[in-house]
Amino acid sequence: MKRTLSVLVENRPGVLTRVAGLFSRRGYNIDSLAVGRTETPSLSRMTIVVDGDERIIEQVCKQLHKLIDVIKLSDITDEPHVDRELVLIKVNAEPAVRGEIMQIVDIFRARIVDIARNSLIIEATGDAGKIDAIENSLRPFGIREVVRTGKIAMLRGSKE
Amino acid sequence: MAEERSGARALLEVLQQEGVELVFGYPGGAVLPLYDELGRSSIRHVLVRQEQAAVHAASGYARVSGKTGVCFATSGPGATNLVTGIATAYMDSVPVVAFTGQVPTTMVGSDAFQETDITGITLPITKHNYLVNDVKDLPRIAKEAFYIASTGRPGPVLVDIPRDVALTPCQEAVPQEVELRGYKPTYQGHPGQIRALAQLLAEAKRPLIFVGGGVVASGAEELLRQLAEKIQIPVATSLTGLGAFPEDHPLSLGLIGLHGKPYANFAVKECDLLLGLGVRFDERVTGALQQFAPQAKIAHLDIDPAEIGKNVRVDLPLVGDLNCIIKELLPLLKPYDAAPWLARIKALRSSYPLIASPGGELQTPWVIERLGEMTRGRAIITTDVGQHQMFAALFYGYTEPRTFISSCGLGTMGYGLPAAIGAALARPDKQVWLVTGEGSLQMHMAELATAREQGLAIKILLFNNNCLGMVRQLQHDYYQGRYTAVKFSGNPDFVRLAECYGAAALRISKPEEVVPALAEAMQNDRLTLIECLVSEEEMVNTMAPPGEVIR
Ligand SMILES: Cc1ncc(C[n+]2csc(CCOP(=O)(O)OP(=O)(O)O)c2C)c(N)n1
């Protein structure tokens, strides 16, 4: 079971090490971790995707909470939220197949951001499912390199 | 020109404000600015012989006094020598603050002489740690360090201070209050859960209280006694819980777990409600989890939410300070029909007694039992790790909290002597006995000099079986008696050795020598070592192979 945790932390050196160290030390499976500054400069937000059963997720949350630098933590998996990942894919692209690749890029509302003689770099954003789909569609052409950011997520605004 | 207040001076202000009277440590280049200020202050410094002993002593001091222990060490090797001590304190939740010197900020990260990344190294074994990059943060960080170490579930905190930071002028005043948005321990228990617990207790027929170090750390032993007595619930303890409930009390069961008392373990098997207070259900207590307290509902009360549900499945979790919770719980308690359960426990106690026999030769359990009698269970006992530790846990008979001081969670050999030094400095009014083995004693033997220097009349009860007894026992039980690397063949003469360190020393080998030897040690006001020659064949009662069902 994959859960998405949104974790507000102090924007201080060493915080990432503390969080990452916790996962490796206690043997939790971390799927992805993305971190960046928030609207408040003294705070960072981490979006962590973890894999594990209910008990493990509960332990992960409690152990994260125990870190002095962790201010707030919520499991937003079941809350209405928007999540996105950014991917850069370098794909083989002989002139003969470029048209076909550009069609795929269009379908996924992705963008071509760099062109070389025999390859293209494609940029796409979306949820994990879409990113996987575009990666799969491009695989037959020969993917040379993939860089993914890991998921970032935000709760939707309240209804009223 | 008036001297400017340096970072180091500001740090000393924090120590003073925190009521620190005593610092254990060992100097070196990078920490000299702190030592220079320490030397000008009224705070006493205890110079140990190796840094690990400084943390252990600070830990012994903290456990006995209830205050936060403090130690200093220099960068690099000084700091890394602290590591085992910090891990030891971490595993037993002991409030210790360690200040280390570091190379100047301009050199941090350059593999400079005596540089180690001590905050990186101690990350998993501290409650929190800091590298102070800017002197303006120093007063706040030092203040936070004490706050974090001593509140909630206590634990060690390390503050790494580069030399230049300590020397730089510091304008910042010491804050009066600590404000940490990411650290807010829960003290009050949830009222609904407290009522639910009262209900569970009302329904139980065979309730049992299982007490750990959390009761001692929170000073809840008096409320625990009220809780147990009010409706007559028997009380068992973990190693760290020893002393939290007087062992001469009719409701006391004593130690449970792998090396626990057989009848106490049987009581756990049969209870239908187990109330864990400030415990962490360590594997040494539970054995195979599915067979632990198989008939019981488990209620778990702890200040650390992460402990609840970590090892055992809990039917009723309750987070908070034990004092607050028990106070709320007491008025809600309804008596249950305790007579059958207490009768059953009495029967278990007589069917599976734990007896120390005088035997023909000198036997450790019997010696410890005599010590318990002669000190009326009131001395402070520090131990090392091994068979002697388990005998000290089982046969002494603790009657007061903060009197069993031992490395329970990490099992660190060498803890006992430095911890005894800290203990003796914390309680000059109490007799402090170190129960040790010749293996463990040799890990920090040099601290005999520290004890002497400080004028401490620590009594050392050395059980010399000329081998690493506990390991030998494991090889006996699980490696078909193939003994490897457990026998000593060139140990020193411990009596003469102790005398070299200025201690009184005697050697005994017969049961009839025990009482006179103990009496003599209790009378004199000197550092004293009694070497007891015991057999390598002695075995600690073991309830199960590691990880298996405790029977
Ligand atoms: C620092 C450290 N190293 C190794 C061990 C493993 N160990 C546990 S008990 C023990 C033997 C202790 O021997 P001794 O102090 O003579 O006590 P005895 O068991 O003989 O009473 C050893 C080596 C340990 N606990 N700590």
Rounded mean pLDDT, B383-390: 98
The answer to whether residue B185 is domain-embedded is no
Average of per-residue pLDDT across B338-346 = 97
How far apart are alpha carbons B115 and B101 in whole angstroms?
Answer: 10
A29, A55, A75 - which closes a domain? A75
Indicate if A8 and A35 belong to the same structural domain.
yes
Same-domain status, B27 and B160: yes
The residue from B329, B351, B373 where one domain ends is B351
- On whether residue A21 sits in a domain, the answer given is yes
pLDDT band at B138 (very low <50, low <70, confident <90, very high): very high
Residues found in chain B: 551
Q: Structural domain tally of chain A? A: 2
Q: What is the model's pLDDT at position B2?
A: 63
Residue A160 pLDDT grade (very low, low, confident, very high; cuts 50, 70, 90): low
How far is the C-alpha of B352 from the C-alpha of B254, rounded, in Å?
A: 13
Atom of ligand 1 nearest to the CA of B463: 21
Same domain for B446 and B334: no
| Mean pLDDT computed over A34-47 | 96
Please tell me the predicted confidence (pLDDT) of residue B12.
98
* Best residue of B125, B300, B310 to probe chain A, by most A CBs closer than 10 Å: B310
- pLDDT of A159: 57
Domain range holding A90?
82-155
Structural domain ending residue among the three candidates B152, B167, B182: B167
Say if B332 falls within a structural domain.
Answer: yes
Beta bridge partners of A147: A88
Task: Specify whether the CB–CB gap between B510 and B369 falls below 8 A.
Answer: no
Please indicate, yes or no, whether residues A130 and A147 belong to a single structural domain of this protein.
yes
B182 assigned to some structural domain: no
Q: Does position B3 have pLDDT exceeding 70, yes or no?
A: yes
Look at residues A75, A93, A128 and tell me which one is the last residue of a structural domain. A75
* Same domain, residue pair B93 and B206: no
**pTM (2 d.p.):** 0.96
Q: Are B28 and B154 found together in one domain?
A: yes
Do residue A93 and residue A145 come from a single domain?
Answer: yes
Q: Are A21 and B123 in contact (CB < 8 Å)?
A: yes
**Would residue A36 count as lying in a domain?**
yes
pLDDT confidence band for B355 (50 / 70 / 90):
confident
Predicted confidence band of residue B542 (pLDDT cuts 50, 70, 90): confident
Residue B287: pLDDT band (50, 70, 90) is confident
Tell me the mean pLDDT in the region B311-319: 96
Distance of CA A97 to the CA centre of its chain: 29
**DSSP codes of every residue in B326-364:** HHHHGGG------HHHHHHHHHHHHHS-------SS--H
Confidence of residue B550 (pLDDT cuts 50, 70, 90): low
Residue B151, min C-alpha distance to chain A (Å)? 12
CATH number at residue A101: 3.30.70.1150
Chain A nearest-CA distance from B181, in A, is 6
Do A36 and A89 share a domain, yes or no? no
Chain B residues within 8 angstroms (CB to CB) of chain A? 119-120, 123-124, 127-128, 131, 148, 180-183, 304-306, 309-310
A109 shares a domain with A139: yes
Length, in residues, of chain A: 160
Instruction: Quote the CA–CA distance of B137 and B178 in Å, as a whole number.
Output: 13
pLDDT range class, residue A149, cuts 50, 70, 90? very high
B515 in the same domain as B370? yes
Atom of ligand 1 nearest to the CA of B470: 19
Digit-coded pLDDT (tens) for B211-243: 999 999 999 999 999 999 999 999 999 999 999
Ligand 1 neighbour B417 (Cβ under 6 A): no
Tell me, yes or no, whether B68 lies in a domain: yes
**Interchain CB distance below 8 Å, B181 and A66:** no
Q: Which domain holds residue B260?
A: 191-351
Q: What is the pLDDT of residue B115?
A: 97
Q: Which residues of A touch B309 (CB under 8 A)?
A: 55, 58-59
Substitution candidate for ligand 1 out of B468, B473, B477, B535 with most atoms within 8 A of CB: B468
Residue B546's pLDDT is 63
Question: In terms of CA atoms, which chain A residue is nearest residue B130?
Answer: A14
- In a domain, residue B544? The reply is no
CATH number at residue B331: 3.40.50.1220
The verdict on B45 and B144 lying in the same domain is: yes
A11 contact residues in B (CB cutoff 8 A): none
A92 and A71 belong to one structural domain: no
In a domain, A160, yes or no: no
**Which of A10, A14, A63 is the closest to B306 by Cβ?**
A63
Is residue B2, in this structure, part of any structural domain at all? Answer: no
Q: Which CATH number goes with the domain that contains B130?
A: 3.40.50.970
Is B138 in the same domain as B59?
yes
Q: Which of B183, B184, B281, B308 to mutate to test the interface with A (most CBs of A within 10 A)?
A: B183
Residue where a domain terminates, one of A75, A95, A128: A75
Q: Which range scores top for mean pLDDT: A49-53, B94-98, B537-541?
A: B94-98
Sheet containing strand B459-464, edge to edge, reads B404-405, B380-383, B432-437, B459-464, B528-533, B504-508
The domain that holds A67 is classified in CATH as 3.30.70.260
Residues A36 and A67 in one domain: yes
Burial-class residue B349 by CB neighbours within 10 Å (0-12, 13-18, 19+): middle
Same domain flag for B470 and B522: yes
pLDDT band at B521 (very low <50, low <70, confident <90, very high): very high
Statement to judge: residues B223 and B325 lie in one domain: yes
- CB-CB contact of B542 with B394 (8 Å): no
Residue at B546 is within a domain: no
Residue B87 beta carbon below 6 angstroms from any ligand 1 atom: no
Task: Please check whether residues B392 and B500 belong to one and the same domain.
Answer: yes
Shared-domain flag, residues A87 and A125: yes
* In-domain check, residue B65: yes
The 10s digit of each residue's pLDDT in B171-211 is 999 999 999 999 999 999 999 999 999 999 999 999 999 99
- For residue A126, tell me if it sits in a domain: yes
Asked if residue A87 belongs to a domain, the reply is yes
| Ligand 1 mean position, distance from CA B413 (Å) | 6
